[in-house]
Amino acid sequence: MDNKQVITLETSLGFAAVGFIDGVIARLWLPEYDRQSLESRVRLWSPRAIRVKNRDVENRVRDYFNRKQVTFADRVDLSCANDFAKRVYTTLRKIKRGQTITYSAVAALAGSPGAARAVGYVMGRNPIPLIIPCHRVVRSDGSLGGFTTAGGVALKKKMLELESGG
């Protein structure tokens, strides 16, 4: 039995979605302008996900993209992540809005100094971007680095600008 649920919402930057397993956030798809493309990504995750309403999560995601201060203290499902990835994701959740951190600093805080490349690999597979704010991680030279979403680095830049008031 498929115990997955999903909400789809429109933000100022396009259409986004949040996936739940047994009511716990397990996926988040950042905004993209093509709703059909987003819907096909959701179907890849679960072709039979039940459409639900969760006004609280919907409003906070929408508010984030409208430059409002929101918090995402929600429980998240990381059952598919290995121990290293869980440590990286836990570390990322401590990075505050408007702050950035380097890949190497994340590795050190996650208990694996010198594992900056591994941090990048884990972040590229982050199932819950925004709530696990991988967009706040930059290269040691201050450049943005990569961002594995439909919006790419341009979306990462926009999210950092939203957070800094730019």
Cα dihedral 93→126→117→64 (10° resolution): -50
Of 134, 137, 155, 162, which one is the catalytic site residue?
A: 134
- 80 labelled catalytic: no
Stretch (H or E) spanning 88? helix 83-92
Cβ neighbors of 15 (< 8 A, separation 6 or more) are: 8, 9, 31, 32, 33, 34, 35, 38
**DSSP H or E stretch at residue 5:** strand 4-11
Q: Which residues is 132 bridged to in the sheet?
A: 129
From first CA to last CA, the distance across the chain in angstroms is 45
Active site amino acids? 134
